[in-house]
Amino acid sequence: MPGWPFQRESLPNNVNKKRFVNLGVRGIFFIALLLITYGIYIEPYQVETHHIWIHDGYLGRLLGKKVVVQLSDLHIGKVGRRERAVLRTLARLRPDFIFLTGDYVQWNGDYRAAISFLSQLKATVGIWAVMGDYDYSRSRQSCLFCHEEGTGTPSRHHLVKFLRNTIEQVNLPGGPLFIGGADMAGEGLLSSAAGSFLRGVKGPAIVLSHNPLSFEYVNDEQRVLLLAGDTHGGQIPLPSWLLGILGWEKNACYSRGLFEQNRKKMFVSRGIGTSHFPIRILRRPEITVLHFRQ
C-alpha cells in the first residue's frame, strides 16, 4: 500500500552516520583550504612593525633616542610587493641603525634582487649585517655581498657592512658601541670560529647572528645582546615538543621573541620572507624596532 504523500520515511542509522561523517570531512577540507589560501596569499604580505623594549643601562644611555631596526630572513626572489612594503615602512621609520641577520636570497637563488634591495637601505649611523645559510648556498655568489664581481674591491652597490666573526666600534656621544657579527658555516651550523668569536666578545655589545643557537655559546655573564633570525617563527604554530622530535632544535628552543639569561639577552625575529613552503599562519612577517631603556 503506498504511503501518505507527506510522510517522510525514516532512514537507517548507518546512512545518517555516513551523511554526518561526509559533511564533517567536507567541512574540515573547506576550513583547511581557507587556512592554506590565507597562509599563502594574505599573511606573508602583512608585514608588521614589531616594537620591542630592551632594558639595559649602557645601551639605554647610548641608544635611548635612536631608531634601531632589525630585518631578517628576507629570502628575496624579486623586489616585489612584500619588499616594497618593507622599504616604505623603513622610509617612515628613518632608522639610525639597521641590523640585518641573514638569509637575503632563496636557496641557490639569484643574488641580484637581494643586492638591489640592500642598495635601497638607508640609516643615519650605519647598516651592519651577517650572512645566513641560504646566502652561502652559492658560495661564489655570496662574495657579491661584500665585493665587486671578480675583485677584492668593497661593493659599491650598497652601504651594508658585513661582519664575519668581527666586531666594530662606533663612537656615539654617550660612549662607544660595539657591534659584532658571528658568521655561519654551511648547513646552518655555527663554525668553531664563530663559537670562539662569540665566547670572546667583551660586552656591552650588540652581536648579530643568523642562528639563534648562538645564545648557547655566549656566557651568562657576558653583557651581550644577540640579534638572531633563521627560525621564521616556525611560519605556522607547532608545539615545541613536536619541533624537538623533528630535530628542529633552534625552533623548539628559540622560535621567536626575547630571551634573557642573567646578563645575556637575545631577540629572535620572525623574519620577513619564507623558505621551504611559501606560507605563514599566525606568524606575520616582521620589521623589528628595538627601543632601549636604562
Q: Which is nearer to Fe ion, 89 or 275 (CB)?
A: 275
CB of 233 to Fe ion, least distance (A): 11
CB of 72 to Fe ion, least distance (A): 7
What is the DSSP track for the chain? -PPPTTPPPPPPHHHHHHHHHHHHHHHHHHHHHHHHHHHHHTGGG--EEEEEEEE-HHHHHHHTTS-EEEE----BSSS-HHHHHHHHHHHHH--SEEEEES--B-TT--HHHHHHHHHT---SSEEEEE--TGGGSSHHHHGGGTB-TTSSSBPSS--EEE-SSEEEEEEETTEEEEEEEEPBPGGGPBPHHHHHHHHH--SSEEEEESSGGGGGGS-TTS-EEEEE-SSGGGSS---HHHHHHTT-HHHHHHSSEEEEETTEEEEE---SS--SSS--SS---EEEEEEEE-
264-268, strands of its sheet edge to edge: 166-172, 175-182, 205-209, 224-228, 264-268, 257-261
Q: Which is nearer to Fe ion, 83 or 103 (CB)?
A: 103
CB of 289 to Fe ion, least distance (A): 20
In the region spanning residues 144 to 163, those forming contacts with Fe ion, defined by CB under 5 A, are none
Q: Which is nearer to Fe ion, 120 or 275 (CB)?
A: 275
In the region spanning residues 19 to 78, those forming contacts with Fe ion, defined by CB under 5 A, are 73
CB of 41 to Fe ion, least distance (A): 20
In the region spanning residues 263 to 292, those forming contacts with Fe ion, defined by CB under 5 A, are 275
Q: Which is nearer to Fe ion, 103 or 183 (CB)?
A: 103
- Is 135 among the residues that bind Fe ion (CB under 5 A)? no
Distance CA 56, CA 58 (A): 6
CB of 246 to Fe ion, least distance (A): 17
Q: Which is nearer to Fe ion, 99 or 292 (CB)?
A: 99
In the region spanning residues 194 to 233, those forming contacts with Fe ion, defined by CB under 5 A, are none
Q: Which is nearer to Fe ion, 71 or 205 (CB)?
A: 71
In the region spanning residues 169 to 198, those forming contacts with Fe ion, defined by CB under 5 A, are none
Q: Which is nearer to Fe ion, 67 or 227 (CB)?
A: 227
CB of 294 to Fe ion, least distance (A): 33
CB of 66 to Fe ion, least distance (A): 27
- For Fe ion (CB under 5 A), the number of binding residues is 3
C-alpha closest to that of 65 among 124, 121, 120: 124
In the region spanning residues 87 to 106, those forming contacts with Fe ion, defined by CB under 5 A, are 103
Q: Residues in the site for Fe ion, rule: CB under 5 A? A: 73, 103, 275
